[in-house]
Amino acid sequence: MVTRTSSFLLSGLVLAFALGTMWLGQLLAESSDTTVIVRNVDMLVTTPPPPPPVSQSSQTDPTLDIQVKGAGAQLMVSEIVVSPTLDIDIPTMPEIDTTFLQWSLSDIDTSAFALNELDSTPILLTPIKVHFPKRLKKQGVSKVLVKLDVLIDEQGNVELVDIVENPHHELNKEIVRFVKNSRFTSPSKEDAAVKARFIWPVLIEA
């Protein structure tokens, strides 16, 4: 009985010692904590001064002044006054074969007879084939009347003396070509073959 009582007392002392030790440790831990005081400090933010005003310099377009000493080459410009109601069509300059225009008075056979001096008017035996320029077609030109000064020899061969009238010079080469390939009946006077010279009107159609 005495032994059991002693055991209980010893257990109580051990428990009390343990509790006391724990309490003492907690007390020491609380006393060792450092107290931190946080204060709210208002910071004064200074506004930076405004930048100085930028002076606006007036912008002027740069100009280049070139002065050339001396007279130099001078170009004379003719003033062209065009009436506003005048419609001018400026055609391009075609290549014109002018070899048939290089005639002198000695080259022309003056022994040729006029149409009214012949027994009958010579008849064209070959068809007229002309390549009509596309440029004239685009301009709405479908037919052109030309007048040719021609010389027909005793065999009916045709020689072009001059192009008397042709409003469209683009046709000059074609005129020279088809005249060279043309053939008439032989001109005659008093039943004898002669040369004839006359103005030959030709209507060229597209």
In the beta sheet, which residues pair with residue 150? 160, 198
What are the 10-residue block averages of pLDDT along the chain, 206 residues in total?
66 73 67 50 55 57 39 36 44 43 46 93 92 91 94 96 95 94 96 96 90
What is the Cα–Cα distance from 182 to 128, expressed in whole angstroms?
Answer: 8
Alpha helices of 50-132 — where are they, by DSSP H?
A: none
Contact 140, 181 (CB under 8 A): no
Q: How far apart are the first and last CA of the chain?
A: 156
pLDDT at 189: 95
Structure token digits, residue 131: 């390549």
Q: Answer whether 133's CB lies under 8 Å from 91's CB.
A: no
Which amino acid is present at 34? T
By the 8 A CB rule, do 156 and 184 touch?
Answer: yes
Q: Which of 150, 138, 133 is nearest to 205 (CA)?
A: 133
What is the reported pLDDT for 19?
A: 76
| Whether the Cβ atoms of residue 149 and residue 161 lie closer than 8 Å to each other | yes
| Residues 144 and 166: beta-carbon distance below 8 Å | yes
Cα 122 from Cα 162, distance rounded (Å)? 19
Q: Residue 89 has what pLDDT?
A: 52
Give the fold, CATH level 3, of 110-205: TolA/TonB C-terminal domain (3.30.2420)
Q: Whole-prediction pTM value?
A: 0.48
Q: Contact, 186 vs 154, CB < 8 A?
A: yes
Q: Which amino acid is at 134?
A: K
Q: Cβ contacts of residue 170 below 8 Å, gap of 6+? A: 94, 133, 135, 136
Angle subtended at Cα 77 by Cα 73 and Cα 79, rounded to the nearest 5 degrees: 170
